[in-house]
């Protein structure tokens, strides 16, 4: 417990609590109801850096990017009313993608609650469905305990977002301050170690007896810091390993047992062979509908083993045969000790055959196109070439996201940052800012579509003010590309409200003092990508790609993973 400090304000206590939790960087936007806290921030500016974003949604997405790149809890602040409600999309995004963030919002004085006072909104009720926990502080003496709980809940177990709403009187009032970090909460139980010994033995037996086993791993591996344990388990068992979109980068892209992405636009082999494997080992993933397709046919022939820290996810979407509840870091260690070493050469060869088929039909034309128009895939290939797989790549949502996740190459974990569960357009630009600040030693490249880019384009101002060396690539097809693809394939090419008339992106970037270049021809592309990556400052690259290119493979909505189409 920290020493007692006599009679300080609640606002100062908030800052001291953040410092106790090793927070040194926060994102936010000031306003009337949170002004006392901002006044204290001014006094503590040497110890705590505040980044003024241009919108509260930018603040929380930046906090998410910071968290995903650094592994720490991201922090965002906003005022009451519209400031607080502008955080909701980011809270929902963080909730679905298990990102630990703590949001602090100001609120009108306790005596005004329920009176519809100026900028009063019941943010507790609004945010309850999209937070792991939320709480309204009306008494100054609650502040240390509640903020300690907030950080503990945000980072422990399955991480997630927490919102703490603090009334203005609690910010102004004074009390005797001391801080004690939270190490546990009654009735909030975290299952870290596997307790079901019989389930563990059953899982080992199933893995040892499997002829066609398949691993599908998700972000739980990264959140559980289990990358080394996953690699050791895979290499001992010889089992092909596929990943969900949020699991990408937990295993090096070029690892011989990495067989690619599962899901709607994932790779051909792991999707098709999900319905041929005899044992499916799901590690730190939640069987999202984009992964499973039709749940009635998903791996129905296989014995399913599920390593998962959140008990609510077991049997939620897919009935599993052997649940292993706990942190997958611990579960994988136990399994690796007990399983026998294998190689499965014939089964692995089946993946290689299907990969070659996908390469011939899809990948080759994406990465090495012969037609004159530029493809998204060749842009990603060149980014790989000049970053050598060592960059953090942040994607927005849409066709470019699927292409990037399919083709980006990574050598280390925490390198793929994207909006998975919510699919939030506008996520990438502010998130890339946070990622660069969370891992300043790493190159950060944001790959964005022309639609999503314009949703939070104002955050160029944050880059400008803070001189943040983010590299921004806009793949411009003058369409809301993913929606247009669906309209083409399933709505007889009725392109309803998906064609974009875009502004001059180069002039906009230059207005924020960002070096900018536009590429429309293949002969100019490689030099532009190289120049961007070598730049020590922020850089904007617009690449005009084919207007009506589609992303394949593709599993139609509601179809089985076996129905994946190559064209």
For residues 459 and 55, the answer to whether their CB atoms sit within 8 Å is: yes
Selecting among 261, 264, 482, 554, the annotated active-site residue is 482
Cβ atoms within 10 A of the Cβ of 175, count? 19
Tell me the C-alpha distance between 68 and 153, whole Å: 17
> Of 56, 120, 409, 459, which residue is the catalytic one?
56
How far is CA 332 from its chain centroid? 23
552 is catalytic: no
Please confirm, yes or no, whether 56 is among the known catalytic residues.
yes
* Active-site residue flag, 285: no
Q: Which of 77, 132, 136, 168 is catalytic?
A: 168
User: CA 487 to CA 182: how far, in whole Å?
Assistant: 51
* 58 φ/ψ angles, rounded to the nearest 5 degrees: -60, -35
Name residue 133's beta-bridge partners.
162
Q: What stretches of 21-165 show up as alpha helix (H) in DSSP?
A: 35-43, 56-70, 82-85, 88-96, 123-127, 143-155
Is residue 485 annotated as a catalytic residue, yes or no?
Answer: no
Instruction: Examine the residue annotation and report whether 303 is marked as an active-site residue of this protein.
Output: no
Tell me which of 119, 191, 333, 385 is the catalytic residue.
Answer: 119
Q: What's the rounded Cα separation, in Å, for the pair 141 and 137? A: 9
Task: For residue 437, give every residue at least 6 positions away whose Cβ sits within 8 Å of its Cβ, in sequence order, or none.
Answer: 25, 51, 62, 66, 468
For 103, the token pair is 């949001």
* DSSP summary character for residue 341: P
Q: Give the max Cα distance, the chain.
A: 73
Find residue 544's DSSP bridge partners: 476
Torsion sign over Cα 274, 280, 284, 287:
positive
Q: What's the angle, vertex CA 9, arms to CA 7 and CA 11, rounded to 5?
A: 155
Radius of gyration of the chain (CA): 24
Of the residues 43, 118, 490, 530, which is catalytic?
Answer: 118
333, with CB counted inside 10 A (0-12, 13-18, 19+), is: middle
Contacts of 82 (CB under 8 A, 6+ apart): 56, 119, 121
- Structure tokens, 277: 């494997």
Instruction: For residue 12, give the nearest of 38, 31, 33 by alpha carbon.
Output: 38
Positions annotated as catalytic residues are 56, 118-119, 168, 482
């Amino acid at each position: 417990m920290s020493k007692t400090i006599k009679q300080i304000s609640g606002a100062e206590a908030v800052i001291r609590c953040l410092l106790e939790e090793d927070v040194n960087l926060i994102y936010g936007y000031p306003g009337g109801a949170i002004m006392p806290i901002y006044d204290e921030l001014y006094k503590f500016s040497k110890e705590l850096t505040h980044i003024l974003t241009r919108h509260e949604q930018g603040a929380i997405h930046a906090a998410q990017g910071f968290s995903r790149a650094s592994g720490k809890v991201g922090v965002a602040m906003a005022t009451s009313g519209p400031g607080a409600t502008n955080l909701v999309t980011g809270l929902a995004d963080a909730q679905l993608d298990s990102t630990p963030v703590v949001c602090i919002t100001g609120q009108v004085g306790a005596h005004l609650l329920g009176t519809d006072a100026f900028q009063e909104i019941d943010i507790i009720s609004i945010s309850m469905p999209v937070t792991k926990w939320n709480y309204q502080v009306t008494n100054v003496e609650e502040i240390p305990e509640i903020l300690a709980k907030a950080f503990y809940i945000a980072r422990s177990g399955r991480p997630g977002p927490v919102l703490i709403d603090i009334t203005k009187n609690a910010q102004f009032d004074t009390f005797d301050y001391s801080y004690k970090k939270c190490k546990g909460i009654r009735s909030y139980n975290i299952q870290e170690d596997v307790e079901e010994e019989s389930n563990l033995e059953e899982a080992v037996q199933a893995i040892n007896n499997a002829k066609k086993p398949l691993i599908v791993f998700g972000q739980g591996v990264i959140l559980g810091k289990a990358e080394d344990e996953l690699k050791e388990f895979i290499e001992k068992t010889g089992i092909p390993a596929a990943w969900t979109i949020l699991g990408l980068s937990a295993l090096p892209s070029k690892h011989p047992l990495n067989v690619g992405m599962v899901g709607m636009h994932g790779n051909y082999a792991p999707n098709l062979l999900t319905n041929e494997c005899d044992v499916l080992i799901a590690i730190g993933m939640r069987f999202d509908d984009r992964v499973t397709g039709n749940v009635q046919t998903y791996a129905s022939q296989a014995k399913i083993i599920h390593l998962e820290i959140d008990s609510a996810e077991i049997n939620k979407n897919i009935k599993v045969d052997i649940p292993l509840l706990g942190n997958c870091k611990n579960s994988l260690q136990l399994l690796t000790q007990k399983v026998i070493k294998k190689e499965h050469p014939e089964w692995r060869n089946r993946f290689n055959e299907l990969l070659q088929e996908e390469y011939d039909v899809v990948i080759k034309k994406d990465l090495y196109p012969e037609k004159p128009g530029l493809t998204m895939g060749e842009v990603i290939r060149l980014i790989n070439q000049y970053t050598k797989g060592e960059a953090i790549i942040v994607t927005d949502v849409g066709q470019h996201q699927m292409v990037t996740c399919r083709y980006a190459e990574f050598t280390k974990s925490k390198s793929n940052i994207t909006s998975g569960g919510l699919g939030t357009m506008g996520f990438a630009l502010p998130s890339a800012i946070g990622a660069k600040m969370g891992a300043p030693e790493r190159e950060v490249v944001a790959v964005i579509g022309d639609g999503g880019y314009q949703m939070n384009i104002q955050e160029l101002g944050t880059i400008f003010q803070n001189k943040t060396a983010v590299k921004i690539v806009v793949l411009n097809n003058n369409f809301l590309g993913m929606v247009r693809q669906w309209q083409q394939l399933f709505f007889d090419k009725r392109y309803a409200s998906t064609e974009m008339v875009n502004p001059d992106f180069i002039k906009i970037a230059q207005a924020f003092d960002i070096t900018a270049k536009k590429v429309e021809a293949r002969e100019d592309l490689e030099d532009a990508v190289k120049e961007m990556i070598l730049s020590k400052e922020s850089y904007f690259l617009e690449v005009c790609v084919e207007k009506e290119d589609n992303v394949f493979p593709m599993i139609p909505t509601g179809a089985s993973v076996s129905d994946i189409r190559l064209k």
